[in-house]
């Protein structure tokens, strides 16, 4: 009998984690893919927690994958002692000092294991690393954007302080590099206005494939990361990447082959003379590793469930 698997998220902004969960739900039997916001509405309101817990328990899952500390806490409240196997998923920033580490320490005993997509984010936790896999792009995939001054640089991330949107706007304004900058994803109104005043194209939430196909290079200016899914989505399309060495990025990205890995203080000349490193990057699309990732998730669920 196929085990019933539930994925809990507390956000629905079309980011990398949501795309990752959608991939698992599409390809793996038993992964219902019920995001938490579909049970309770969005955005999250703690006052609705009692009804959320009742609805979660009615799902009767065998395994629950939890994304983010809020989802971890809600799962523990729903099944405090017995119930489904709880798996903590670690895919975001690597900074878990202070209150975050304290919260995780309180929740830790209820979780069977932790799953991360990089060694940097897993740290000293017990668990396993499952490398992100992405599907090969469809042959019919077409660019979202056309007609802009090249090179076209893009950032595909919902705005959060660690993602570096504000820092990148500052350097773009100061250095005035050649080409066009495009922001894909959810932005605050203040950031959107500032970006558009500098001539930055803001697309809002978009499909990753057509957005990436529009770019000469993807930018990842994050100051804290694991390994963002968009890196793999760019590599499988042969799109060069300029990234900071935050978190686990250096575990997968090869400087000079996938693009450039450089700290923020070295970005100005790279943006001023981009064609040098863009031309050196390997343009041949690489395998997405989807089958390997799916196999690892299937094995994990099988190992954790009682015979």
Spatial distance between the Cα atoms of 227 and 247, rounded to a whole number of angstroms:
7
What's residue 183's pLDDT? 98
Q: Do domains 5-133+289-304 and 152-280 have the same CATH topology?
A: yes
**Distance, first Cα to last Cα, the chain:** 11
On the 0-12 / 13-18 / 19+ scale of CB atoms within 10 A, 28 is middle
**Other CB atoms within 10 A of residue 253 CB:** 21
Spatial distance between the Cα atoms of 292 and 117, rounded to a whole number of angstroms:
13
What's residue 98's pLDDT? 65
Report the Cα 77 to chain-centroid distance in Å.
26
Find all residues with CB under 8 Å of 110, minimum gap 6, and list them.
Answer: 75, 76, 79, 80, 86
CATH of the domain spanning 5-133+289-304, picked from 3.40.50.11720, 3.30.420.10, 3.40.50.2000, 3.30.1370.60: 3.40.50.2000
Q: What is the mean pLDDT of each run of 10 residues along the chain (307 residues)?
A: 85 81 88 59 70 85 89 92 91 65 84 92 87 94 95 95 95 95 96 97 96 97 91 96 92 92 96 94 88 96 89
CATH of the domain spanning 152-280, picked from 3.90.1140.10, 3.20.20.100, 3.40.462.40, 3.40.50.2000: 3.40.50.2000
What's residue 306's pLDDT? 80
What's residue 32's pLDDT? 62
Domain boundaries, the chain: 5-133+289-304, 152-280
């Amino acid at each position: 009998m196929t085990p019933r698997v539930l994925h809990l998220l507390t956000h629905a902004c079309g980011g990398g984690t949501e795309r990752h969960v959608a991939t698992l739900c599409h390809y793996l039997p038993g992964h219902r893919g019920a995001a938490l916001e579909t049970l309770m509405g969005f955005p999250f309101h703690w006052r609705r927690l009692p009804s959320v817990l009742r609805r979660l328990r009615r799902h009767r899952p065998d395994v629950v994958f939890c994304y983010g500390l809020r989802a971890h806490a809600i799962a523990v409240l729903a099944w405090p002692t017995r119930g489904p196997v709880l798996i903590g998923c670690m895919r975001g920033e690597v900074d878990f000092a202070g209150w975050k580490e304290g919260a995780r320490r309180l929740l830790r005993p209820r979780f069977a294991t932790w799953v991360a997509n990089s060694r940097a984010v897993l740290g000293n936790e017990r668990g396993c690393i499952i490398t992100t896999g992405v599907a090969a792009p469809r042959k019919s995939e077409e660019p979202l954007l056309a007609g802009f001054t090249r090179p076209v640089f893009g950032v595909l991330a919902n705005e959060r302080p660690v993602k570096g949107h504000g820092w990148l706007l500052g350097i773009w304004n100061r250095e005035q590099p050649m080409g066009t900058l495009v922001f894909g994803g959810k932005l605050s109104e203040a950031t959107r206005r500032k970006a558009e005043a500098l001539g930055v194209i803001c697309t809002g939430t978009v499909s990753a494939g057509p957005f990436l196909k529009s770019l000469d290079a993807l930018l990842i200016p994050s100051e804290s990361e694991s390994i963002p899914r968009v890196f793999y989505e760019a590599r499988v399309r042969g799109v060069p990447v300029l990234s900071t060495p935050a978190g686990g990025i250096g575990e997968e990205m090869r400087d000079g082959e996938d693009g450039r890995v450089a700290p923020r203080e070295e970005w100005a000349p790279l943006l001023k003379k981009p064609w040098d490193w863009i031309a050196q990057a390997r343009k041949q699309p690489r395998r997405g590793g989807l089958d390997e990732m799916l196999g690892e998730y299937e094995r994990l669920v099988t190992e954790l469930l009682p015979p």
